[in-house]
Amino acid sequence: MTTINDIITRGFDCHQSGRLAEAESAYREALEMDSDNAELHNLMGVLKLQQNDTLAALEWAEKAVLLKPCEYFYETLFQIYIRSEAYEKIIYYAQSVLEKYPKNFSLIFNIALAYKNLKQYKKSIEFYEKALKINPSSYQGWFNLAHVYEIEGQAKNAVSAMKICHKLKPKDKDTDYFYATSLMKAKNYDKGLPLFENRQCRDLAILTQTKSYPNLAAPEHLWKGENIKDKTIFVYYEAGYGDVIMFSRYLPLLKNKCKKILFQPQRPLIPLFEQSGLGIDELIDGYIPEKDLEFDVHAPIMSLPYLLGLKGQNVFESPEGYLFAKPELVEEYKSKYFNTDKIKIGIKWQGNTYFDKDRVIPAEEFATLIETEGTHFYSFQTFEGSEDLKKLTKKYKITDIGTNLLDFGQTAAALMNLDLVICNDTSLAHLAGALGIPCWVILPYEVNWRWHTDLSHCDWYSSVRLFRQTIPGEWKGIFNDIKLLIEKRLDMANLNHKGDRAIV
């Protein structure tokens, strides 16, 4: 006679071998014999999770815990909650789970992960640290803890955690890349830049070139910092527009090391670099047949500070305003858009959202600034996000210049007519900084490595000031502070009657 245990065993064997439909049939047959069997409900939860049916998985797993609370069933339930992003439900169980199973690494790790995803970072750190006391060799635990340390501005702690990850996974490129960003956020570029060569986008940059120039830009021709005084180097873009603008500061230093620089930026940057020079001998605009392109070595642009051997504060050094706008184009934009005695302020609220949406500022947050008397605002928002300008123009007079800007040469010329730029973390901030234009950058709670952890100081551009969220997702406080600062500077300018329009 077939027993329920025989049926469960048959179902489990099918489950382990990946025959999920047969396993489910067996589990349901067994449930007809024992509808309150907690183990069967848990197995059905696991099976439904494997089938990506999280709603059904939740029903089965929650019933399993209800029938028989045990740490194994809680582990299944928490995994399903994580998959379905039901982080609040994990927090609901957190205290009781911690009391019952204080040594269960998986449960405490998932509690920490839930707090992290809910942006309750201090609680997340608390539970990651608890989990790592149970299992100090957990790579994932240290990696996640490092990330939360970084979010909280605890750069030194993040470096320490990533150092452990580096020991747990030596010679792992992903680990070394994130270790590098932790080091650089803590301003340790001497150790960070060599590891930054493991960055994922560097492989993509080289791949891009080897697809176009498979013989010339092969790995064996990659510049490794050796003497190239009598050689031609091909430097090419990687990552975003802002990255290329930021790292182009090193091109004049490179010129002192080589005979000739060929440089390929993204096409919209071509007019800007044509005007700025930077020691570039030839700008490559689009594809050139391999037989017509001649160089000895090549390098992606973000490798330059490492390859040039820059150390300490030399990493940040660059001429004041190292990029330039075309003078006649500056005058053209001045007569067309900027013929006013008011303080002229350019704004932008959104950049590329493919990798990071936290940097996007709701356009309507700028309303409190636009109400400031004696100012006129210009929208530099282009492409994605430009539709949000309507939220402001319904009530306020704003000049939309962004829709008329086709490249960074035009954008630079327009920016030169401003008294101030206020924007999110985007390429416009890098362009303003590289031009030496006063710029206030509004940063989210979690910031990119390049902005470090200083309160308002920017190491890369002397004309840039940083404003940071103090509460994740909360912008109002920053904008209130900025409004007060603008009003204060305007009052000072009016009091002095000296016509000095600088407000930073």
- In a 10 Å sphere around its CB, with 0-12 CB exposed, 13-18 middle and 19+ buried, how is residue 344 labelled? buried
Domain boundary among 289, 315, 341: 315
Name the domain count of the chain: 3
Asked whether residue 474 falls in the same domain as residue 359, the answer is yes
pLDDT band per the 50, 70, 90 thresholds, residue 496: low
Domain boundary among 261, 292, 315: 315
Q: Which domain holds residue 229?
A: 200-315
Q: For 173-201, what is the mean pLDDT?
A: 94
Q: What is the pLDDT of residue 157?
A: 97
Asked whether residue 167 falls in the same domain as residue 224, the answer is no
Q: For 333-348, what is the mean pLDDT?
A: 94
Average pLDDT, the chain: 92
Is residue 44 scored above 60 in pLDDT? yes
pLDDT band per the 50, 70, 90 thresholds, residue 205: confident
Asked whether residue 409 falls in the same domain as residue 354, the answer is yes
Higher-confidence residue of 90 and 211: namely 90
Phi and psi at residue 40, to the nearest 5°: -65, -40
Cβ atoms of 114 and 79 within 8 Å: the answer is: no
Closest CA to 237 of 252, 247, 227, 228: 247
The CA–CA distances, whole Å, from 205 to 219, 228, 249, 300 equal: 12, 21, 19, 6
Q: What is the pLDDT of residue 497?
A: 45
CATH number at residue 160: 1.25.40.10
Cβ atoms of 502 and 463 within 8 Å: the answer is: no
Asked whether residue 146 falls in the same domain as residue 284, the answer is no
Residue 13 lies in a domain: no
Higher-confidence residue of 317 and 436: namely 436
Residue 125 lies in a domain: no
Residue 282 lies in a domain: yes
Asked whether residue 304 falls in the same domain as residue 164, the answer is no
Asked whether residue 443 falls in the same domain as residue 476, the answer is yes
The first and second tokens of residue 358, run together, are 């936290």
Q: What is the pLDDT of residue 397?
A: 93
DSSP string, 379-441: E---STTGGGGHHHHTTS-EEE-GGG--SHHHHHHHHTT-SEEEEESSHHHHHHHHHT--EEE
Is residue 436 scored above 80 in pLDDT? yes
Portion of the chain with pLDDT greater than 70, in percent:
97
Which residue's structure tokens are 């002397």? Answer: 462
Query: What are the strands, taking DSSP E only, across 129-265?
Result: 228-236, 258-264
Q: What is the pLDDT of residue 55?
A: 94
- Round to whole Å and give the CA distance between 456 and 442: 10
Q: For 183-196, what is the mean pLDDT?
A: 96
Asked whether residue 221 falls in the same domain as residue 207, the answer is yes
Q: What is the pLDDT of residue 1?
A: 66
Residue 20 lies in a domain: no
Pairing of strands 398-400, 297-300: unpaired
- 344-361 pLDDT, tens per residue? 999 999 987 776 788 999
CATH number at residue 311: 3.40.50
pTM over 0.85: yes
The first and second tokens of residue 164, run together, are 């452990």
- 153-183 pLDDT, tens per residue? 999 999 999 999 999 999 899 999 999 999 9
Closest CA to 103 of 135, 74, 126, 72: 135
**Angle, alpha carbons 218-221-227 (nearest 5°):** 165
Contacts of residue 431, defined as CB under 8 A and 6 or more positions apart, other chains included, come to 242, 245, 272, 323, 408, 411, 412, 415
Asked whether residue 440 falls in the same domain as residue 483, the answer is yes
Phi and psi at residue 190, to the nearest 5°: -60, -40
Domain boundary among 198, 217, 233: 198
Q: What is the pLDDT of residue 502?
A: 52
Is residue 142 scored above 60 in pLDDT? yes
Contacts of residue 68, defined as CB under 8 A and 6 or more positions apart, other chains included, come to 38
The first and second tokens of residue 227, run together, are 């003497």
Is residue 71 scored above 60 in pLDDT? yes
Is residue 476 scored above 70 in pLDDT? yes
Closest CA to 401 of 376, 424, 425, 375: 376
